[in-house]
Amino acid sequence: MNTILIKNISLKNRIVDVLIEGNVFKQIEPEIKDVNADKIIDGTNRAIIQPFYNMHTHSSMTLLRGYGDDMRLFQWLSEYIWPEEAKLTAEDIYNGTRLAIVEMIRSGTVFFLDMYWHHQEIIRAAQEMKVRASVGVTFIEERGKKEIEDNIKFINNFKSPSNRITINVAPHAIYTVGKDLYQELYLISKVRGLKLNTHLAETVNEVNDCKKANNNLTPTEYLESIGVLDENTIAAHCVHLTEHDAEILSSKGVTLVHNPCANMKLASGAFNVPLINKYDCRVCLGTDGTSSNNNLSMLEEMKFAALLAKVSYHDTSLLSANQVFAWATKNGAETMGLNAGKIKEGMLADCLIVNLNNDRLIPNNNLISNWVYSADSRCIETVICDGNILMENYIIPNEEEILEKAKRKIS
Amino acid sequence: MNTILIKNISLKNRIVDVLIEGNVFKQIEPEIKDVNADKIIDGTNRAIIQPFYNMHTHSSMTLLRGYGDDMRLFQWLSEYIWPEEAKLTAEDIYNGTRLAIVEMIRSGTVFFLDMYWHHQEIIRAAQEMKVRASVGVTFIEERGKKEIEDNIKFINNFKSPSNRITINVAPHAIYTVGKDLYQELYLISKVRGLKLNTHLAETVNEVNDCKKANNNLTPTEYLESIGVLDENTIAAHCVHLTEHDAEILSSKGVTLVHNPCANMKLASGAFNVPLINKYDCRVCLGTDGTSSNNNLSMLEEMKFAALLAKVSYHDTSLLSANQVFAWATKNGAETMGLNAGKIKEGMLADCLIVNLNNDRLIPNNNLISNWVYSADSRCIETVICDGNILMENYIIPNEEEILEKAKRKIS
């Protein structure tokens, strides 16, 4: 098995050696001797830290970056995004996903939970670039029976190309997928042991429309009433929740994904941190698609989450650096059933090597505070996922070609 | 005079050559021939863009980065910041300012408007590192008569070491400086032709205390009533304004400085963009001190400003990328009376060279959108201020020594 030995690196303020064997952290000790490692990395003046698990993306929307910002939501979607999305070919999706993965690696993300079209192309890109991904097979009723049937067939016949790639069943939202299809997809996800990945309670309109159509039930109450919420459900956004909603989501063990940048840019609202803390809901962090963000940086996302919570609820102590760091890292890994998200012997070898001689990390009074509130992607030198080095000393193999292919002009 | 020729660079989607002679943009043309420049920079696949003018900093608070976050404001100040600030020596301030300037250069800032102690050390650091600065001579009544007298003497005898360095008269705030001293400082600023730099209407408490003490006048009304507001006044924060306040600030020509990260992190509130738009106030952007941010990136500050405005006022079209970019660049230069802030013949040669082959700037549907919503400091390759190259191809001379000296441990 391939081995990597990282020497003299800072792990939670201790200096250690870290031995990676295959895809796991084999040994973490003050000094590891007598190992003939295939590769040795000098960790002097560097820290090892767990990477990000981005729990809500539409990865190939990178191609629409900066196309029609600062507009009212419906005009933006109907005049800009939807017409342009309709033109995207499978090859575009492949190229857009590869750009997204470059961006993710550079900003320290090794896993993304995706929802988009042409799932085969997203799987291809993620597999080639050796990141972890759960790729959504996405359902919107309006797109027609044929696509729904093909998608279900795809799910039933899916064989993963590697241990890093899974798929998820992704009914888009309650306003695009009706009750029968939602329940059918829920059953499929249970039979196949897959996550159910959906948007939930993103906007006030969604809540109001749902209540009108469903006997005053909120979106969360509605999904509970049709029996599709449980510990396999991953619900993105969850901006507009009542106390009862939070109680349901907590008791059912649903994972909530907070996407602060998109919620702010689209003026959807502020995630209710006091409420979800009160009901002890499981929360992860996601960037959402690039065109409503407009990047895939989980570093930025952590800072936006923490600062938005404080200002929205007039409480400087709300959503501490440590709490939001857990949302962005180990909570995502745990939700996905990955034995990852911590730098610990026996766990999967996912990690970042961070340069402590970077201006943004000086002085080093508190690394997690600097990481959440000050760092940017320039601090990340090396990225390791599943024991593979994805970026070494700022270099990603093949990056130039990937970026060139993603320079798609909007016509 | 020293000349720099930048070849084949993108300026607002045109490809041009840019000739810098001394400290001005001498010529900007599709092709500049027959020039024997001292230095030639290849601008292929790069863009030239105006740099940032950071209009509110306490620069050497870099040394307190990450020290006591996520706390209630008063506990944070009284138990953490003030005791630690009291220990900072002149040498610490010098080292902290140099760290701040490294951070600013790397994130594209060439000017900062500062307010802190040991102004001589801040001037020394800025002069050595060739950035522009307006260094505050700061007044807080509690610090005693001796300091006030020394400061006034310093202002009256000040001779600038270069055209890049000015000073400003900085009464800290209405709750730390009484009426008489405020008025005296206002007169001194008028006689010396200097800016008056102050905090204003940052918190609800400040507004309430002011109204109680001053016959129900708001902080803005109070400052107007004592006759110290005019086009030389620069007022940081201005979070809690009434319609009447906005009217006063606009009609007096006061410059407002928005500091979204600090206002969010300290839970002070959201700057009222619809109100200041309605009264057409002059607005600039600032990062505030590092310990309430926790960095000095104007790139991040622009994104926070735009997104905070949208979510706070339920309007996706509020504070567009173009508007916030103007706040962060030319508005600051204009306020300071600098013939800078645009890439234009005859103007001062302040500019950034940005790598368009960076993943965050691909595709290039709209550079300003990418700049505001997607970029980070990794996109900035070269920084020029006043015709001097401060960072070339990511290298800042002497950076290693500067960072080493700033690694101050909090005891």
Give the pair of three-digit tokens for residue B295: 């960095």
How many Å apart are CA A292 and CA A66, to the nearest integer?
A: 9
User: Could you identify the residue written with the tokens 């010098």?
Assistant: B94
Residues of chain B with Cβ-Cβ distance to A105 below 8 Å are none
Which chain A residues are within 8 Å of B293, Cβ to Cβ?
373-374
| Region B364-393 average pLDDT | 98
Specify the long-range contacts of residues A77-85, CB closer than 8 Å, at least 24 apart. Answer: A81/A291, A84/A410, A85/A117
Burial class (CB in 10 A: 0-12, 13-18, 19+), B159: exposed
Task: Give CA–CA dist B357/B378, Å, rounded.
Answer: 11
B3-49+342-396 shares its CATH topology with B52-335 = no
Q: B267–A311: do the CB atoms touch at under 8 Å? A: yes
Chain A positions touching B359 (Cβ under 8 A) are 99, 102-103, 106, 399, 403
The domain segmentation of chain A, as residue ranges, is: 3-47+351-398, 52-335
Neighbours of A33 (CB within 10 A): 6
Of A349-353, B85-89, B216-220, B341-345, the one with minimum mean pLDDT is B85-89
CA B309, B311, B317: angle at the middle one, nearest 5?
65
Residue B397 scores a pLDDT above 80 = yes
Instruction: Tell me the nearest-neighbour CA distance from B182 into chain A, angstroms.
Output: 31
Sequence-distant (6+) residues with CB within 8 A of A150 are none
- Compute the distance between CA of residue A49 and CA of residue A27 in angstroms, rounded to an integer: 16
Element (H, E) at A79: none
Q: List, for residues B180-213, the tens digit of each pLDDT value.
A: 999 999 999 999 999 999 999 999 999 999 999 9
Indicate if the alpha-carbon torsion angle A401, A402, A405, A407 is positive or negative.
Answer: negative
| Residues B116, B291: Cα–Cα separation, whole Å | 13
Contact A297 B357 (CB under 8 A): no
Q: Does B68 have pLDDT greater than 90?
A: no
Contact B311 A310 (CB under 8 A): no
- pLDDT per residue as tens digits for the range A210-266: 999 999 999 999 999 999 999 999 999 999 999 999 999 999 999 999 999 999 999
| Most B-contacting residue of A301, A325, A361, A374 (CB-CB within 10 A), to test interface | A374
Tokens linked to B103: 């951070």
**Cβ B76 vs Cβ A316: under 8 Å:** yes
Say whether B409 and A265 touch across the interface (CB within 8 A). no
Residue A411 has pLDDT above 90, yes or no: no
Among B76-80, B160-164, B324-328, name the one with the lowest average pLDDT. Answer: B76-80
> Over the range A224-240, which residues count as b (16 or more CB within 10 Å of their CB) and which as e?
bebebbeebbbbbbbbb
Cα distances from B4 to residues B128, B199, B343, in angstroms, run 21, 40, 14
- H/E stretch holding A334 reads helix A330-335
User: In sequence order, what are the residues at sequence separation of 6 or more whose Cβ sits closer than 8 angstroms to the Cβ of residue B391?
Assistant: B105, B106, B380, B381, B382, B383
Spatial separation of the C-alpha atoms in residues A90 and A109, rounded to whole Å: 24
For residues B383 and B51, the answer to whether their CB atoms sit within 8 Å is yes
pLDDT at B12: 94
Partner-chain residue, chosen from A63, A99, A319, that has the shortest CB–CB distance to B359: A99
Quote the minimal CA–CA distance from A107 to chain B in Å: 10
Contacts of A65 in chain B (CB under 8 A): 362-363, 365, 369-370, 374
Q: Which SS3 state, helix, strand or coil, does residue B331 take? A: helix
Does position B411 have pLDDT exceeding 70, yes or no?
no
**What are the start-end ranges of the H helices in B21-118?**
73-75, 82-86, 90-106
Predicted ipTM > 0.95:
yes
Q: Which residues pair with A132 in a beta bridge?
A: A111
Share of chain B above pLDDT 90, in %: 94
In CATH, which superfamily holds the domain spanning A3-47+351-398? Urease, subunit C, domain 1 (2.30.40.10)
Contact between B357 and A270 using a beta-carbon 8 Å cutoff = no
pLDDT at A73: 75
Q: Strand (E) positions, B192-290?
A: 196-200, 233-237, 255-258, 282-285
Write down the CATH superfamily of domain B52-335: Metal-dependent hydrolases (3.20.20.140)
Comparing CA positions, the residue from B373, B256, B360, B249 lying closest to residue B310 is B373
Of the pLDDT bands very low, low, confident and very high (cuts 50, 70, 90), residue A371 is very high
Residues 6+ apart with CB under 8 A from A325: A302, A368, A371, A372
Helices (H), B11-61: none
User: Mind listing the pLDDT tens digit for each residue in B250-282?
Assistant: 999 999 999 999 999 999 999 999 999 999 999
Asked whether the predicted pLDDT for residue B370 surpasses 90, the reply is yes
Q: Which residues of A touch B304 (CB under 8 A)?
A: 304, 307
Q: What is the pLDDT of residues A300-359, one digit of tens each?
A: 999 999 999 999 999 999 999 999 999 999 999 999 999 999 999 999 999 999 999 999
Select from B97, B359, B390 the residue whose CB has the most chain A CBs within 10 Å, as the one to mutate to test that interface.
B359
> What backbone phi and psi angles, to 5 degrees, belong to B45?
60, 30
Helix (H) or strand (E) holding A228: none
- Given CA atoms A78, A80, A81, A84 in this order, what sign does their dihedral have? positive
Q: Is the pLDDT of residue A71 over 90?
A: no
Please list every residue in chain A whose beta carbon sits closer than 8 Å to the beta carbon of residue B205: none
| Partner-chain contact B71 A317, CB within 8 Å | yes
Query: In this complex, how many residue pairs, one in chain A and one in chain B, have their CB atoms less than 8 Å apart?
Result: 212
| Nearest-neighbour CA in chain B from A86: distance (Å) | 18
> Average pLDDT of B351-361?
98
| Closest CB from A102, A357, A373 relative to B403 | A357
CATH topology for B3-49+342-396 is Urease, subunit C; domain 1 (2.30.40)
Q: At what angle do helices B298-312 and B321-328 cross, to 10 degrees?
A: 140
Query: Considering only CB atoms, which chain B residues are within 8 Å of A307?
Result: 261, 264-265, 304
Beta partners for residue A236, in sequence order: A199, A257
Q: A123: which residues sit within 8 A by CB, 6+ positions away? A: A133, A135, A161, A165, A167
In DSSP notation, B123-185 reads: HHHHHHHT-EEEEEEEE-GGG-HHHHHHHHHHHHH---SSTTEEEEEEE--TTTS-HHHHHHH
Q: Which residues contact B198 (CB under 8 A, 6 or more apart)?
A: B170, B171, B172, B173, B174, B233, B234, B235, B236
Instruction: Say what the pLDDT of residue B409 is.
Output: 74
Minimal Cβ distance to A267: which of B63, B266, B314? B314
* Closest among B181, B141, B95 to B403, alpha carbons compared: B95
Our measurement of the distance from residue B392's CA atom to the centroid of its chain's CA atoms, rounded to an integer in Å, reads 22
Other residues' Cβ atoms within 10 Å of the Cβ of residue B399:
18
Residue type, B194: L
Tell me if residue B249 falls in helix, strand or coil: helix
pLDDT recorded at residue B410: 76
Strand partners, B168: B136
Task: Identify which of A341, A411, A325 has the alpha carbon closest to the alpha carbon of residue A375.
Answer: A325
